[in-house]
Amino acid sequence: MLKILKYFGTIKHFKLPDLGEKIKEATIVKWHVKEGDKISEFDPVADVSTDKMFTQIPSSFTGVIHKRYHKEQDQCQVGELFVDIDVDEASSLSNHTTQTTQQPSPIPIPKPQIASKPTPQRESLLQRISPSAKYLAQLHNIDINDVKGTGIYGTITKDDISNYQNQPKQQQQTTSTSQSQTIKMSDFQKGMQKSMTESNTIPHLYLQEEIDVTSLSSFREELKKQQNITFMTLFIKSFSLALLQFPILNSTYDPSAPFQFITHQDHNISIAMDSPKGLVVPNIKQVQNLSILEVQQQLNKLKKLGDESKLGPNELNNGTICISNIGTIAGTYVGPLILPPQVCIVGIGRVVLQPRFIAGSYQPRKIIYTSFGCDHRILDGATIARFQNTWKQYLEQPEQMMVKLK
């Protein structure tokens, strides 16, 4: 009875699901299951990376892993076979059959092959490396030929890669005959290349301004007595308030429909973030409906997911406008590039203490510098300047922002 059920479809084909954002393929970074493992619905099957995200693929079935179709670091197309899962239908039906002395056939497990110890000559031709070490080496562009393996038969382990990274540069021996080398881009670097290449086709309009955030800094210090609120949170919420008066900035544009654009009611504000894997741009959904505290909570959540490389489609898709706070690292003015299909981005520089002439005398003031990059096919300079003035008023006079909050 069990064999008949298997022929009639207890083996479920699980394909790589649609990841959104027109993603066509993904790199398998790490398998969480092997053939013969039991798995429940929603359990993680594998970690994958694309040119836009790093995420986990959950199982759609409960059962036993029957077959994996790819190895780690393989490319898999969306819709391509990922794993086969022997679901629990057969075992549940077998509970209603009469028990017999015949035992069900176990899942075939390949017999282990006993490998002879490689000779020194063979070791020189084949570099052994664990999957996790291979991934770490590719992530940091490390030539594995420069790393000495300490595992069995000289296998390079994850610890070997980490120890190599921590060595002083002069101790990192190289076997290269030239100082130049070809570096393969990571999936995230590929994503940045694609989006910025597309962005470079957009006619950009730039506007730069300085904003006095001295009063905002004092306002923030008062808020911090109750809750740690960052400058970025106040920038995001005040930005959303200004968008209510200038909704055209919160638009997306598709060049294939050249004489129309889409304006969005929801302020899904994208935040350019530095992460261990490079630039990521998740977004906070519906900022117009969030309090200052809720914005801070969402920002903390995105930062944590980014640091753990767990940002998924829900965090990365459907952004409508972008803020890049490069000032957390360095810099004052910046020339930001739009993230298509959005039509506006603003870069914020670091807070600088500057003298300003006020009421007959020079006073020390905290100044930030903002740089707008806008799609000139949709937005004109006057609209951007008026939006900038409104946003500036909220930042320089935070009491005006508080009046507008719901």
Query: Long-range contacts for 271-276 (Cβ within 8 Å, ≥24 apart)?
Result: 271/232, 271/236, 271/299, 271/302, 271/322, 271/323, 271/324, 271/325, 272/322, 272/323, 272/324, 272/325, 272/326, 273/302, 273/303, 273/306, 274/329, 275/306, 275/307, 275/309, 275/311, 276/307, 276/309
The catalytic residue among 13, 32, 264, 376 is 376
User: Which residue's structure tokens are 């490389």?
Assistant: 309
SS3 263: strand
Q: Nearest CA to 315 among 326, 300, 327?
A: 300
DSSP 119-158: PHHHHHH---B-HHHHHHHHHTT--GGGS---SGGG-B-H
Q: Any catalytic annotation for residue 376?
A: yes
Q: Where are the alpha helices (DSSP H) in 167-291?
A: 187-199, 214-224, 231-243
Buried b (16+ CB within 10 A) or exposed e, 277-305: beebbbbbbebbebebeebbebbeebbeb
Query: Under a CB-based contact definition with an 8 Å cutoff, are residues 134 and 32 in contact?
Result: no
Please tell me the distance from the alpha carbon of residue 406 to that of residue 397, in angstroms, as a whole number. Answer: 17
Read off φ and ψ for residue 111, nearest 5 degrees.
-70, 135
- Residues marked active site are found at 376, 380
